[in-house]
């Protein structure tokens, strides 16, 4: 498919905006142009400006840290001759030393449309540091790979802020990373000297496979667009004793645990009839992470119509159904989790203790979902003021 969308980084590189600037780049392997060229190489080869530092988010600048919650070291890129600073290390925010030689910090990261994806908080932390040290920030916009129209799920409560959720936004926010940068900077008071390099040709209903752009794994456990589509809900499974499919070839699409009755679970889900979703009974053996080397029963989530599929509601229904079958399978994972050492992982993922307490109290999925309505309506008004497309 010929490209229909021109990325923000391509428009920036084709302009004279960076001329005379010493540049730091926040990126990872998904930071490529429509021709698969990495933007670090394009910046390094550009005349008129100078690339002086690289910064990597979770999983590292080269995304070589496969597992979750594994820090990456700082190093030097011998080929490009610049330092590579890890922002998933002893620091998650650039230090004064890291920013000292920069005029401009360019951020070009592929978000996946889900509140808990840490790249947007790496961006927010960079914006804070840049504001403190008088460095301008240019965020290069990229498509929300799961579209920019659907908004779903609970809005984070401020008491549950963490590295997987700094701001009161819903699990599926329906915004691009550039729009989030505007929201964070203006509505939530970061106050950086921020510029967005917008895309051309992107329309809000577009999924990534409608943009004429390559799918490059944004992180090692989101290997396909299919995994990204289910991720806004399936990521909640990380907060339980269930396997979310890490250690398999279909993370977040495979959900299960040893001893779970696959057919019974799928019969329940079929009876509910979730829109745009078919579940299929499966058995799988994770190679690492939860239940590594053990046979798990469960289901694979097959999205048959992504325009009506509601991933967060589907995850609530799934957790409820598994809990009804055997509550021990939905035992809550204990901290620490993503630098949070006190609050329960399920709570910081969901954005409050509401899901955990509701499931323990025997609430129905419909009752849980109904509680989202008012916060989502308030967010919709805030969101509308920061949309670019």
User: What is the reported pLDDT for 2?
Assistant: 61
Spatial separation of the C-alpha atoms in residues 219 and 120, rounded to whole Å: 13
CA distances from 293 to 248, 290, 326 (A): 11, 9, 21
User: Any residues with CB less than 8 A from the CB of 309 and at least 6 apart, and which?
Assistant: 229, 274, 275, 276, 277, 303
Q: Which residues touch 366 (CB under 8 Å, ≥6 apart)?
A: none
**Total residue count of the chain as it appears in this document:** 389
How many C-beta atoms lie closer than 10 Å to residue 37's C-beta?
12
Q: Return the pLDDT at 1.
A: 58
Positions in the chain whose pLDDT score sits under 50: none
Distance CA 236, CA 172 (A): 12
Return d(Cα 309, Cα 278) in angstroms, integer: 10
Q: What pLDDT digit, counting tens, does each position of 101-157 carry? A: 999 999 999 999 999 999 999 999 999 999 999 999 999 999 999 999 999 999 999
Q: Confirm if 336 and 164 have CB atoms less than 8 A apart.
A: no
Helices (H), the chain: 8-13, 39-44, 96-99, 119-132, 177-182, 225-234, 262-272, 311-325, 345-350, 354-361, 365-370, 373-384
What's residue 12's pLDDT?
98
Instruction: Give the whole-angstrom CA distance, residue 225 versus residue 215.
Output: 7
Give all domains of the chain, ordered by start, each with its CATH number: 8-210 (3.40.50.12170), 225-352 (3.90.1150.140)
- The tokens describing 25, both together, are 């780049």
């Amino acid at each position: 498919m010929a490209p229909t969308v021109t990325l923000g980084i391509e428009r920036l590189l084709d302009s004279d905006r960076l001329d005379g600037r010493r540049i730091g780049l926040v990126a990872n392997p998904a930071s490529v142009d429509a021709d698969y060229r990495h933007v670090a190489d394009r910046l390094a080869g550009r005349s008129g400006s100078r690339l002086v530092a690289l910064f990597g988010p979770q999983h590292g600048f080269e995304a070589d840290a496969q597992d979750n919650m594994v820090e990456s070291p700082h190093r030097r890129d011998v080929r490009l001759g610049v330092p590579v600073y890890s922002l998933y290390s002893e620091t998650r925010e650039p230090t004064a030393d890291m920013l000292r030689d920069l005029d401009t910090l360019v951020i070009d990261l592929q978000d996946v449309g889900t509140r808990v994806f840490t790249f947007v908080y790496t961006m927010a932390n960079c914006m804070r540091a840049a504001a403190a040290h008088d460095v301008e920030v240019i965020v290069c916009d990229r498509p929300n790979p799961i579209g920019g129209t659907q908004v779903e799920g609970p809005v984070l409560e401020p008491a549950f802020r963490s590295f997987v959720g700094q701001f009161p936004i819903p699990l599926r926010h329906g915004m691009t990373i550039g729009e989030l940068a505007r929201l964070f900077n203006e509505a939530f008071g970061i106050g950086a000297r921020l510029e967005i390099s917008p895309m051309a040709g992107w329309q809000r209903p577009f999924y990534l496979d409608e943009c004429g752009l390559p799918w490059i794994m944004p992180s090692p456990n989101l290997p396909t667009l299919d995994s990204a589509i289910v991720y806004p809900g399936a990521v909640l499974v990380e907060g339980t004793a269930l396997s979310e499919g890490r250690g398999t070839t279909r993370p977040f699409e495979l959900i299960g645990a040893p001893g779970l009755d696959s057919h019974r679970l799928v019969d329940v889900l079929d009876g509910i009839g979730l829109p745009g979703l078919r579940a299929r009974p499966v058995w799988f053996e994770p190679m690492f992470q939860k239940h590594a080397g053990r046979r798990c029963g469960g289901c694979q989530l097959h999205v048959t119509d992504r325009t009506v599929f509601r991933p967060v509601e589907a995850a609530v229904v799934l957790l409820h159904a598994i809990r009804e079958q055997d509550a021990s399978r939905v035992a809550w994972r204990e901290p620490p989790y993503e630098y949070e050492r006190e609050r329960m992982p399920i709570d910081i993922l969901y954005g409050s203790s509401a899901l955990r307490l509701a499931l323990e109290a025997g609430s129905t999925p419909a009752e849980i979902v109904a509680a989202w309505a008012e916060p989502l309506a308030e967010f919709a008004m805030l969101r509308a003021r920061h949309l670019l497309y």
